[in-house]
Amino acid sequence: MADEVLFEFLHSELVSYVLTNSEKDKTHGDLSTLEYIGFSTGYRIIERLTKEWPRFKDELDTMKFICTDFWSSINKKQIDNLRTNHQGVYVLQDNAFRFLTRLSAGRQYLEMAPKVVIDNC
Amino acid sequence: MSGSNLALKLVPRIGEQNAKHTIDVKMSRQGTRLDSKKVNSELFTLTYGALVSQLLKDYENVDDVNKQLERMGYNIGIRLIEDFLARTSSGRCYDFRDTADKIQMGFRLFLGVTPSITNWSPAGDEFSLQFETNPLTEFVELPDHCLNLKYANVLTGVIRGACEMVQMDVTSWFVQDQLKGDNVTELRIKFIKRLEDAIPAGED
């Protein structure tokens, strides 16, 4: 049981570390490291969470899993709106994103969700 | 890996353009079939793991990684103490034994583990916290080339930062580590001095 405050602090440390580094390397605003950290976290956690589950029927089923089960356990709420054009494009909308309600600098997990989809496919 | 990364970057961009051509998907399920507590603690553990492995990639020297982890812990600690005080509404410590109890309480509160307080030095200024389990290292195995890595070194920073905010200068280090084959993980904490009228760094 890691308290959620702790995770928020860790996350902001992470963001500040990545930003300091990208400034040092003169690649301003390069968030690919942050994205990669999110990716490897997402990859592992989904693998652990879904190992006992039946296979997802299709892409949409996977997406629904992300938006309902996964999102609500992490963000304390279900995603507000999921839209698709049925050609593989999904738009996830959350009106009170947990990491942004406290501060406006957490971009990592917006990126994490799409990654998670790919892990599952 | 690089292939999938590329695809990931493209998805949101296409999404933006086509957002107006999308239709709503009905999500019937309410609530979750997952254990939220478990998901969050695993998320924390795995994020920390990803951070450590990123640091190992960025720095050539394992000692630098340890230092960086400690620094990050410090930054977390100076903020975390406020949350601790607010939640426990605890007052001043009478002596260092009192402090030890509070640190133990902090671990229970934030990490859900209760380390035992042991091995007091005769002078009463040094003690050990022994962990049977460490949530940070739940999924971790150290490869041979980073045996010097203090994986959970962020904890030493957190303790230093948190104590500094309540006018105590302490230092801590790992004596035993389960990742290195010891039976328990032992963190030794030493009291150095009381900070009187501390001036924030950079303002003197």
Interface ipTM = 0.73
- The CATH classification number of A2-118 equals 3.30.1380.20
| Residue B6 domain-assigned (yes or no) | no
Query: Domain range holding B143?
Result: 41-194
The CA distance from B79 to B62, in Å, is: 26
As a three-state string, the secondary structure of chain A is CCCHHHHHHHHHHHHHHHHHHHHHCCCCCCCHHHHHHHHHHHHHHHHHHCCCCCCCCCHHHHHHHHHHHHHHHHHCCCCCEEEECCCCCEEEECCCCHHHHHCCCCCHHHHHHHHHHHHHC
**Regarding predicted confidence, which is higher, A91 or B160?**
B160
Query: Closest Cα of chain B to A34: distance in Å?
Result: 9
Per-residue pLDDT of A76-104, as tens digits, reads 666 666 666 666 566 666 555 555 444 44
- How many CB contacts within 8 angstroms connect chain A with chain B? 158
**pLDDT value of position B148:** 80
- List of chain B residues whose C-beta atoms are within 8 Å of the C-beta of residue A37: 47, 50-51, 54
**Regarding predicted confidence, which is higher, A93 or B131?**
B131
Per-residue pLDDT of B68-87, as tens digits, reads 999 999 999 998 998 888 88
Query: How far from B30 is each of A55, A69, B113, CA to CA, in Å?
Result: 20, 8, 32
Tally of domains in chain B? 1
**Regarding predicted confidence, which is higher, A97 or B186?**
B186
- List of chain A residues whose C-beta atoms are within 8 Å of the C-beta of residue B5: 32, 35-36, 39
Whole-prediction pTM: 0.76
- Mean pLDDT over all residues of chain B? 79
CATH of residue B63 = 3.30.1380.20
Query: Closest Cα of chain A to B50: distance in Å?
Result: 5
